[in-house]
Structure 1
Amino acid sequence: MIVIYHNPKCGTSRNALEAIRASGTEPVVIDYMAEGWTRPQLLGMFAVAGLTPRQALRTRAPEAEAVANASDAEILDAMVQHPVLVERPFVASPKGVRLCRPAETVAELL
């Protein structure tokens, strides 16, 4: 099973989703902008992906300015409050979890 944490407004996320479908797999699509994140969910995903909250922070989001000098714990709290702060898309498969930016990175998981 492949899961994509997807933002439908993001071109990179749409491209990754298209690549997954082109491989013949229909993924579980989670619109995290609508569903939000939990702190444990983010911690687990980042741990498996080998990323810190700061590395997974979408710095181009307007809300990122408020956490520019924040601790990882504060960044996580902000990500739960403002889902847009999580860089996208994240994809999980039996081969691991990756931040698929650029979208071609998803090929490693297929």
Structure 2
Amino acid sequence: MNDKIKIYQKPTCSKCRATLSILAESGEEFDSVNYYETPLTIGELKELIAKLRVTARDILRKDESSASQLANASDEELMQAMIDNPDLMQRPIVVRGDQAKICRPPENVFDLLNKR
């Protein structure tokens, strides 16, 4: 199993920057994906949701103005909306192997750093 850490993040997000800082200080190797520059595919988003063990609605940023238009959306519609508008997706998301965490707060990343 590949247990290299990968963080899906937005560089201007304070929680993302804090999580990146924790990862850098940990000494662990990790890959960073700015999913605004490198958009996720539906398949990749489904995989993230499965690793998070949540639903698509659980990673929807409900405070975003366009989220209110998705109240009756199906999971497929929600995922497509998040692909089309990355601001709708919770961030950062950190993955290690078959586990993932939404790092809000950034300290959630420690759950993945301590698992080997």
TM-score w.r.t. the length of structure 2 is 0.88
Correspondences of 1:68-83 after superposition (within 5 Å): 68-83=71-86
Counterpart of 1:8, as a letter, is P
State whether structure 2 residue 90 is matched by structure 1 residue 87. Answer: yes
- State the shift of 1:26 in Å: 3.7
TM-score, normalised to structure 1's length? 0.92
* Structure 1 segments unaligned to the other structure (5+ residues): none
CA RMSD of aligned residues (A): 1.3
Give the aligned partner of residue 46 of structure 1.
Answer: 49
Gaps of 5+ in 2: none
Moved more, 15-24 or 54-63: 54-63
Q: 1:24 aligns with which of 5, 22, 27?
A: 27
> Are the counterparts in 1 of residues 51 and 98 from structure 2 also a CA contact under 8 Å?
no
Say which SS state the counterpart of residue 100 (structure 2) adopts.
strand
The alpha carbon displacement at 1:50 in A equals: 0.3
Mapped contact 1:78–1:85 kept (Cα < 8 A) = yes
Counterpart in the other structure of 1:106:
109
Number of residue pairs matched by the alignment = 110
Runs of 4+, deviation exceeding 2 Å: none
Is 2:39 the counterpart of 1:55? no
User: 1:3 touches 1:91 (CA, 8 Å); kept in 2?
Assistant: yes
1: distance between equivalents of 2:25 and 2:87?
A: 26
Per-residue CA deviation, residues 50-102 of structure 1 (Å, 9 max, x unaligned), is: 01000000112222122122121210111111111110000011372111111
